[in-house]
Amino acid sequence: MEMESQSGGEKPAGVFGRAWRRVKALPEGLLAKVVDIARQTRDVATDDPRRVVHSLKAGLALTLVSLLYYLHPLYHNFGVSTMWAVMTVVVVFEFTVGATLGKGLNRALATLLACALGVGAHYLASTTGKICEPLLLGFFVFVQAVASTFIRFFPAVKARYDYGLLIFILTFCLVSISGFRTHEILELAHKRFSTIAIGASVCVIVSIFVCPVWAGEDLHRLVATNLEILANFLEGFGAEYFKSSEEEESSKETKPSMAGYKSVLNSKTTEEALANFARWEPGHGRFKFRHPWKQYLKVGALIRQCACRVEALNGYLNSKIQGPGEMRRIMKGTCTKMSMESGKALKELASSLRNMNHPSSAAKKHMANSKTAAKNLKLLLSSSFWEDVDLLQVIPVAAVASILTEIVVCVENIAESVSELAASAHFKDNAAESPPESSSSSASDSDHVVIEVGEMAAPAAEANQSRCL
């Protein structure tokens, strides 16, 4: 009470005053909430405008399927079962074509199979008489549910047929148990399958023919984008790490562009889901049916391995102590080159992936440059004019150099796996189109080592060698 009289000291408003202030604040609070929701809505829509299109497509599919109710002849055929079609559309319609197709096929086939088995179970049970029938039906339902639920735990089944098994349990129970009460069980099974097939078809047709979103294309773009994110970090790292303290103060805004790699570290689940969906998709655009989607997962795993090294590098961006003069000069030159050239190589790989070309000779050139820089560092360090070195100051720089060497190896592995992808997906090989350009450029740069294709194919030995720097 004392507190209150203190706060209301200037204006003795009392209880009514406070209540009035609260009421007055209410619309403001509401307004703030509305503004916040509006902002969120805008963000969700602008982050990926295809979300708005997807919502409209879902509305379209549902309205189409509800025509079954409005058109008399159609409703006359199916009656109350029409609701299965509506239900199917709501449940099956997904963001990507692959997910919709996968769910639709799972639902339709599982329904067909379960209807057949359910009808069979019903006839078997109905021959045993009125007392045994419910017991036997209950037994069938129990055994089937236990077995199907258990099978859903198998990893291979879970990845592709989880939804199908769910629908199988559902339909088997409905058909076999309903038979105990209604005697037009065949009609029930027939109607359920037909309406579900109609619903699934509407979904698939709308999903494919109205602004389709292909999971495969998303996966392809995601992997290329992840490559570019790492490339941006590596291209910026050298300058950021070795910049002097004056530069440090003047430019604080370069860092945000380098923090994107965190999203790469957690991309595994998204990639796996997209690859699973993509396997259901027919050929589209530049992608054929049976495009090697699994190879994208391999590339993705290597990219995440590289991102882990980048995360380790990122830890050193904040350390201020840098090696002594001569040491620092050498480290700065070679490390910046290693990092920059690795970044450029990744960028070339990303762009050739995006354009579906074989990895360009430019990528190979940049990789060769980064390896040369690593070798140069080795040579310069082993020339033993290091007599008065403060080891304490050398250690962080040495760690950076060592991690960069690991990254050079990672980039090689990524390049190899992108090459494998290019070979198995029959990417365009435009090496034949421009051989003079690439050979002249590598000849003009005197300190470049040209990597032979054979050398690229066996990076393991190379890896060990350069890892020991």
Map the footprint of a second copy across residues 117-176, applying CB under 8 A.
134, 137-138, 141-143, 145-147, 149-150, 153-154, 166, 169-170, 173-174
> To the nearest whole angstrom, how small is the minimum distance from the Cβ of residue 186 to a second copy?
16
Residues 252-271 binding a second copy (CB under 8 A) are: 265-266, 268-269
Q: What share of the chain is helix, strand, coil (3-state, %, to 5)?
A: 80, 0, 20
Q: Provide the mask over 298-317, with x wherever binding to a second copy is found by CB under 8 A and - wherever it is not.
A: ------xx--xx-xx--xx-
Q: Which of 14, 22, 25, 40 binds a second copy (CB under 8 A)?
A: 40
Q: Cα(226)–Cα(353) distance, rounded to whole angstroms?
A: 11
Q: Which of residues 311-350 bind a second copy (CB under 8 A)?
A: 311-312, 315-316, 318-321
DSSP state of 9: S
Kindly tell me which of 62 and 186 has the beta carbon lying closer to a second copy.
62
Looking only at residues 82 through 101 of this chain, which bind a second copy when binding is defined by CB under 8 A? 83, 86-87, 90-91
What's the min distance (Å) between Cβ of 321 and a second copy? 5
Contact call for residue 60 and a second copy (CB under 8 A)? yes
Q: Which of 205, 214, 210, 309 is nearest to 264 (CA)?
A: 309
Q: Write out the two tokens for 315.
A: 């830890």
**Cα-based distances in Å from 163 to 107, 201, 269:** 7, 17, 18
Residue 137 in contact with residue 178, Cβ under 8 Å?
Answer: no
Q: Among 25, 38, 44, 443, indicate the residue that binds a second copy (CB under 8 A).
A: 44
Residue with tokens 């995440």: 304
Q: What is the CA radius of gyration of the chain?
A: 32
Strands (DSSP E) found in 262-393: none
Give the residue with the Cβ less far from a second copy, 172 or 280.
172
Least CB distance to a second copy at residue 463 (A): 9
User: Considering CB under 8 A, how many residues would be counted as binding a second copy?
Assistant: 87
C-alpha pair distances (Å), 297 with each of 292, 310, 413, 421, 458 = 10, 20, 14, 10, 21
Comparing CB distances to a second copy, the nearer of 107 and 358 is: 107
Residue 390 is a binding residue for a second copy (CB under 8 A): yes
Residues 392-451, interacting with a second copy (CB under 8 A)? 392, 394-396, 398-399, 401-403, 406
Please state, in angstroms and rounded to a whole number, the distance separating the CA atoms of residues 193 and 382. Answer: 76
Chain centroid offset of residue 32 CA: 34
CB of 125 to a second copy, least distance (A): 12
Closest C-alpha among 158, 157, 103, 50 to residue 280: 103
**Shortest spacing between CB 24 and a second copy, in angstroms:** 29
Write down the least CB distance from residue 289 to a second copy, Å: 27
Instruction: Please identify, using beta-carbon distances, which residue of 21 and 268 lies nearer to a second copy.
Output: 268
Cα gap 331→370, rounded to integer Å:
14
Give the nearest distance from C-beta 90 to a second copy in angstroms.
4
From the DSSP assignment, how many helices (H) and strands (E) are in the chain? Answer: 20, 0
User: What is the smallest separation between the CB atom of 6 and a second copy, expressed in angstroms?
Assistant: 33
